[in-house]
Amino acid sequence: MASGLPLAATPMRLSIFSVQDHYPGRPRSIPELYGQVLRQADLAESLGYYGFFVAEHHFHEYGTVPNPAVMLSAIAQRTQRLRLGSAISVLTFHDPLTVAESYAMVDLLSRGRTVLGVGSGYLKHEFDGYAIPPAEKRARFDENLAILKLALSGERFSYSGQFSNVTDVKLNIAPVQQQIPIYVAVLAREGAYHVGKQGNNIMCVPYASLDKFSEMPALMNEFKRGRSDSDAPAHAYDNVFAFHTYVAESDDACRKNVADAFDLYVQTRLYAKRQTYDDIMRSDLGLFGSVETVSDKLVELYRMGATQILTLQNFGFLSEDKVRESMRLMAEEVMPRVRTRVGQLVAA
């Protein structure tokens, strides 16, 4: 499938994505932020969200979870159904055997609910902190991903590479899932084809990768073209896209509640595109607005073939009450409308 609707009546999967951005000097400590994230995971499960994904960041308040597996393990003990994902685990910085062990444990503790997003990293201070030359990141990532997949297979294996040598190793724990879903992050449209060509699933934050929403179909088509050129068959859930999100009773109420928070997020995030709320509304690369506005956007994404959406609803020091209200409106008002309209599209 090069573009357009999924092949079958595929429900859209809607999840929560948390960067855990911290703002020193403001009245919320990191333990308090962690508490908010855990409570939002509880709420996500009760509202019927598909999953809860957390980012990995190091050495700066850009994000305050250096090991998503630890946070996901905590969430696993509070939930029963919610899928638990990394977005992403930065393979470039870590021993891939350790990463495999960590997420095998998450899968065991969650009884088979792990989704593993992986990437090569992009923040200069993180490469500096780990003393890894950025020029090596692609080679390190490719090698570590190959080792990670072999380790999670549950089989004994050996591997000889440029950065790692593994001899006759088998993990002493096996995931519950026969194959943990793995998604590879891209930051540029050009990378989408290569991810697909390698037979991998894709994960992307369009706000960081594109200039405007109208470029989404081209990115999706590049990925699908890569999958069609690979030996791996395409499937309905081979893509994940993440968007800053806020749902309100009206478009004007959304602006009032979230514009300052989005501007704060962008102003204080290292290397982020310096866009204001008005900029993101012009590029159309957020999910901001009324129930009707956000419903329309999700249906449009579905028509492009985007079946898994991560909604970043806690950012920029938004109050917990506002985050929870947006989460509720998305689950109780937006998604029923989307399911109905998607059903009508598939039937047609």
Encode pLDDT of 303-313 as tens digits. 999 999 999 99
Q: Is residue 262 included in any domain, yes or no?
A: yes
User: Which residues make beta-bridge pairs with 18?
Assistant: 54
Residue 334: what pLDDT? 98
> Above pLDDT 90, what percent of the chain?
87
- Contact (CB, 8 A) for 234 and 1: yes
Q: Is residue 5 included in any domain, yes or no?
A: no
Q: Which domain holds residue 34?
A: 13-347
**What pLDDT digit, counting tens, does each position of 107-138 carry?**
999 999 999 999 999 899 999 999 999 999 99
C-alpha–C-alpha distance, residues 302 and 258, integer Å = 25
Distant-in-sequence, close-in-space partners of 46: CB < 8 Å, separation ≥ 6: none
Return the structure tokens found at 111: 């009884």
**What pLDDT digit, counting tens, does each position of 90-106 carry?**
999 999 999 999 999 99
Asked if pLDDT for residue 344 goes beyond 80, the answer is yes
**What pLDDT digit, counting tens, does each position of 225-256 carry?**
999 999 887 789 999 999 999 999 999 999 99
Q: Is residue 322 included in any domain, yes or no?
A: yes
CA Rg value for the chain? 19
Residue 6: what pLDDT? 46
Residue 66: what pLDDT? 97
| Residue whose pair of structure tokens reads 């994230």 in the numeric block | 37
Asked if pLDDT for residue 271 goes beyond 80, the answer is no
Q: Is residue 8 included in any domain, yes or no?
A: no
Distance separating the N- and C-terminal Cα atoms of the chain: 18
Q: What is the average pLDDT value for the chain, to the nearest integer?
A: 94
Angle at 292 between CA 275 and CA 241, to 5 degrees: 50
Q: Is residue 7 included in any domain, yes or no?
A: no
Residue 308: what pLDDT? 97
pLDDT category at 9 given cuts 50, 70, 90 is low
Residue 298: what pLDDT? 97
pLDDT category at 274 given cuts 50, 70, 90 is confident
Q: Is 25 left (phi over 0), alpha (psi -120 to 50) or beta?
A: left
Number of domains comprising the chain: 1
- Contact (CB, 8 A) for 52 and 18: yes
CA-based nearest residue to 146, from 84, 225, 199, 202: 199
SS (H, E, C) the chain: CCCCCCCCCCCCEEEEEECCCCCCCCCCCHHHHHHHHHHHHHHHHHHCCCEEEECCCCCCCCCCCCCHHHHHHHHHCCCCCCEEEEEEEEHHHCCHHHHHHHHHHHHHHCCCCEEEEEECCCCHHHHHHHCCCHHHHHHHHHHHHHHHHHHHCCCCEEEECCCCEEEEECCCCCCCCCCCCEEEEECCHHHHHHHHHCCCEEEECHHHHCCCHHHHHHHHHHHHHHHHCCCCCCCCCCEEEEEEEEEECCHHHHHHHHHHHHHHHHHHCCCCCCCCHHHHHHHCCCEEEEHHHHHHHHHHHHHHCCCEEEEECCCCCCCHHHHHHHHHHHHHHHHHHHHHHHHHHHHC
pLDDT category at 272 given cuts 50, 70, 90 is low
**What pLDDT digit, counting tens, does each position of 73-95 carry?**
999 999 999 999 999 999 999 99
Q: Is residue 1 included in any domain, yes or no?
A: no
Half-sphere exposure (Cβ direction) of 335: Cα atoms closer than 13 Å: 20
For residue 44, the domain's CATH number is: 3.20.20.30
C-alpha–C-alpha distance, residues 309 and 294, integer Å = 12
Phi/psi for 5 (5° steps) reads: -65, 150
The count of other CB atoms within 10 Å of the CB of residue 269 is 20
Asked if pLDDT for residue 5 goes beyond 60, the answer is no
Q: Is residue 255 included in any domain, yes or no?
A: yes
Return the structure tokens found at 315: 């950012």
Residue 332: what pLDDT? 98
Q: Sort 344 into a burial class: Cβ within 10 Å, 0-12 / 13-18 / 19+.
A: exposed
Q: Is residue 311 included in any domain, yes or no?
A: yes
**What pLDDT digit, counting tens, does each position of 151-205 carry?**
999 999 999 999 999 999 999 999 999 999 999 999 888 899 999 999 999 999 9
Residue 232: what pLDDT? 84
Residue 345: what pLDDT? 78
